[in-house]
Amino acid sequence: MSRQRLLFASLALLAGAAPLVGSAQDHVPDRAAQDQGFATAQLSEPTRRPPADVGAMKTSFSPVVKRAAPAVVNVYARRTVRQRVDPFWDMFGGGVPRERVEQSLGSGVIVRPDGVIVTNNHVVEGGQEFMVVLHDRREFPAKVLLADSRSDLAVLKIDTGAERLPILAIDDREDLQVGDLVLAIGNPFGVGQTVTNGIVSALNRTDVGITDYSFFIQTDAAVNPGNSGGALVDMDGDLVGVNTAIFSRSGTSSGVSFAIPSAMVRRVVESAVGGGQTVVRPWLGVKSEPVTAEIARSLALPRPEGVLVADVYPNGPGARAGLRQGDVVLSVDGGAVNDTAGLNFRVATRRPGDTVTLAVLREGRQQTLKARVEPPPASPAKEERTLDGQNPMNGAVVANLSPASADELGLDPFAGPGVVVTRISGRSYAGSAGFRPGDIVREVNGRRIQSTRDLLAALGEPARGWAVTIERDGRLITGQFRG
């Protein structure tokens, strides 16, 4: 699915304002989460049945809405932009700066009674001031506790004194099924709180291309610009997802919308209320690829399923658990995985130090392995440096590549050791030469580069020119530069 064909629900235009640029098992109570003030979803197992008669068709969603709607809020993000009025007079220093206020609108969900609210990162991205409007129309300034672009989630906090606010319980039972009824609650087009209903059209969508951790709930509930950050609610009145994007050619709902599952919502909120500035995600330490029909035949599998382990990081969680190259991982904690994104999501929603259960197929026999997942190693140290001097990389900011820094930059954690370009200073020689953030420097004049020290030494050697080899999007590119 092309990224250009996804229209994000945060691009709502308020009257007289411009938007910020943005992208739209039985439950066991979690004691740690309860201690932090989270509400836990009910223990009762939901009963699923079609309407039995005409009378049943006339039943109402009103009880669910009454429970859920008070916890859904409007989120406004503002920023002030300075611009010149007359470019001609500006050439002679006579242009007078003018300030323009840009504003974006989204929705949010209260998940703790002390005023903790979850919304989309693209709703608040670039904002300087934030305002939250409650269901009863009271307004409160908000601060951002944590903004995580990789999951497209952000956590806000408002101060209501001693007042306890209505909340939505985060449902972490993960028993949502295709065909289940759901409600989408938010503020489309700024018209006010709106409730739409639909069904779960699909689960575990990993090919949408919205975030690094793609694993979305797809619904046909009407979601439009302004719904971003709003609640996707099940028939128990629990939060099962945060509405994030729509698939649309027109910019309005076409019956295909995507929501971030509650498991990821919980991890991000836990990180924020725990004082974290970023979300520390564990990894399994394996490189994997989907099991295609051809691979399934070569492994004598009855059908394509799971992910094939292509590499195992030395002494990583997977290696210590006994995973080997050629194993097929079928599930994590009972949740099926069918591609790398699915495997990464299942692991990333666990806390660092948690033990996960892996169902693994090896040489035709299924077995169970236990892995203690941990954050990717941050060795070697990052040692970020800004390059200067007379060389083709002048103005580039580079750092040592470790699994942790690679994961942070959205690169392959197995790509190191090496040196990665993290930023390019504006109007620098490196920018003019074509270097980009994310480039991995592999060689300079035939010399292998494994650290920033190697790179500094290679660029500092007397030479009439430089041959610099970088890795970009899995391809090696060599550029020739004169001294």
Positions marked active-site = 122, 152, 228
Sign of CA dihedral 431, 432, 436, 441: negative
Task: Find the helix or strand (DSSP H, E) in which 31 lies.
Answer: helix 31-35
CA angle 426, 428, 430 (to 5 degrees): 120
C-alpha to C-alpha distance for 126 and 168, rounded to whole angstroms: 27
The DSSP symbol for 377 reads P
CA pair distance 232, 64, nearest whole angstrom: 12
Phi/psi at 124 (5° precision) = -105, -10
Local structure of residue 69 (DSSP, 8 states): G
Q: Which of 175, 170, 169, 168 is closest to 26 using CA atoms? A: 175
Q: How many CA atoms lie within 13 A of 451 on its CB side?
A: 8
What's the rounded Cα separation, in Å, for the pair 478 and 481?
A: 10
What is the 3 state secondary structure string of 145-209? EEEECCCCEEEEEECCCCCCCCCCCECCCCCCCCCCEEEEEECHHHCCCEEEEEEEEEEEECCCC
Show the tokens assigned to 50.
Answer: 């079609």
d(CA 27, CA 167): 19
Residue recorded with tokens 């660092």 = 352
**How far is residue 283's CA from residue 373's CA, in Å, rounded to a whole number?**
6
With tokens 């069904």, the residue in question is 199
Contact of 118 with 270, CB cutoff 8 Å = no
